[in-house]
Structure 1
């Protein structure tokens, strides 16, 4: 029986060893969402494309459909993002968080998620170029990826009643800023400059981001991390290694 083949563009999210020479590769693809596939023999030194199937690699793949896991039959490098990320600690740890976030947000296998794919490719491209600080690229990516997944935070209007701000209180579990009436115990009270920075990170307004003071950048990063942890229901392991 002929095995169906298909091609797709993908970012390698993570890998796991399988047997003595194989790997299971978790991919975020352009057309097929998150896919887990077996790459035969890639751990052998003679492998034709083992190095192309490492995390951060942007690849063009041919795959054959399988019962539980597909099989990678061809791999061509499109963009070796690892070259610009792997040698720098800040970029590497930020990039690892981005990969783990994409893996968690696109939970359903084979559920198309073009926006998440394009967002990840764009984020890794900026990160690998070194044009912007890794922590700023990461925070912007996290806010945007959450928004694409349906968890867009509210920084202008009250997340509970919709009353337009500015407001003083921020609560991750309720979706962002809260007015004085809707405020709940445990809400944070970020500086107005931090709120402007969060909005700029979400919108990609880099002049505002780059002009921000370090204390506001740190406060914004803490709020982004708290918001992410709440909506993913548990924290990311890789986020512990990011220097904030």
Structure 2
């Protein structure tokens, strides 16, 4: 069918011509979709404000030869209204969108789990449920895990030796035993590694009360893990 409808989250936008925009969305059933929103930059546009980054929308698309066309849009939740009011939430949410854009499957291939994970993370950060940097840390770990790059926080990532272990190697995939410890492996605090494991499992009890150095170290490990496996620099991480 030429027409289809789906819910999605706006990841980014690009100008096209004098009045149009190319909108990139992560949708529930159709994966990553790039579509043209015609006339959206005009002040008279009916749905211009609904197609901004962070927006959760219900949209109808018309299949085109190269790019689809947005024909209808209904706002489900304009998360940007809450997010842009706070710098930490804004930078954290930007990391979520940029990472999701890199991880999303090719257009037309559904990845419901990644969509639901992004939606849940945006909802949490917009409503200030937890510290923004912790939400980002949890999202990076779980999104990479869904993509096949799960971080080991207990057993040895190389040989599987039962942990916990005190050494940590990003190339190896997490904690490593003494026998597998490569040169240059890190030695993070046990508390930071435990926090990583809790966030991966969705266990938030006490996470927001962890000391700043524990949260920062956990975030740094998650960021390094994400950058290594994405093989691409997440520009917004420098602002987090």
TM-score tier (shorter) = over 0.9
Structure 1: 5+ residue runs without aligned partners? none
Is contact 1:200–1:208 with CA below 8 Å preserved after alignment? no
Partner of 1:94: 92
Q: Distance in 1 between matches of 2:158 and 2:46?
A: 55
Alpha-carbon separation, structure 1, partners of 2:81 and 2:212: 28
The corresponding residue for 1:68 is 66
Q: Tell me if the contact between 2:32 and 2:106 (Cα under 8 Å) persists in the aligned partners.
A: yes
Determine which of 8, 11, 15 is the counterpart of 2:9. Answer: 11
Root mean square deviation, CA, Å: 0.9
Which of 191, 194, 200 aligns to 1:193? It is: 191
Deviation sequence 1:44-100 (CA, Å, 0-9, x none): 000000000000000000000011110000000001111110111000000000000
Q: Which residue of 2 aligns with 1:111?
A: 109
Q: Which of 219, 222, 226 is 2:220 aligned to?
A: 222
Q: Aligned-pair distance for 1:211?
A: 3.1
> How many residues are treated as equivalent by the alignment?
240
Q: Shift of residue 208 of structure 1?
A: 3.4
Higher mean Cα deviation, 136-145 or 42-51?
136-145
Q: After the TM superposition, list the runs of 4 or more consecutive aligned residues in structure 1 that deviate by more than 6 angstroms.
A: none
1:107, distance to aligned residue in structure 2 (A)? 4.1
**Contiguous gaps of at least 5 residues in structure 2:** none
1:51-66 alignment, distance < 5 Å: 51-66=49-64
**1:204-215 equivalence runs, <5 A:** 204-215=202-213
Once the two structures are superposed, residues 135-170 of structure 1 have per-residue CA deviations (whole angstroms, 9 ceiling, x without a partner) of: 111111111111111111011111110111010111
Aligned to 1:42: 40
SS in structure 1 at match of 2:71: strand
Choose 105-114 or 23-32, whichever is displaced more: 105-114
Q: Matched residues in 1 for 2:135 and 2:46: separation? A: 33
After alignment, is 23-32 or 187-196 more displaced?
A: 187-196
- For residues 131 and 206 of structure 2, the distance between their equivalents in structure 1, rounded to whole angstroms, comes to 14
Cα distance in 2 between the residues matched to 1:109 and 1:164: 40
1:13-32 residue pairs with structure 2 within 5 A?
A: 13-32=11-30
Deviation at 1:220, TM superposition (A): 0.7
Structure 2 Cα separation of the partners of residues 106 and 186 of structure 1: 32
Query: Per-residue displacement from partner, 1:186-213 (whole Å, max 9, x unpaired)?
Result: 1111111111111111112111312311
Length-normalised TM-score, structure 2? 0.98
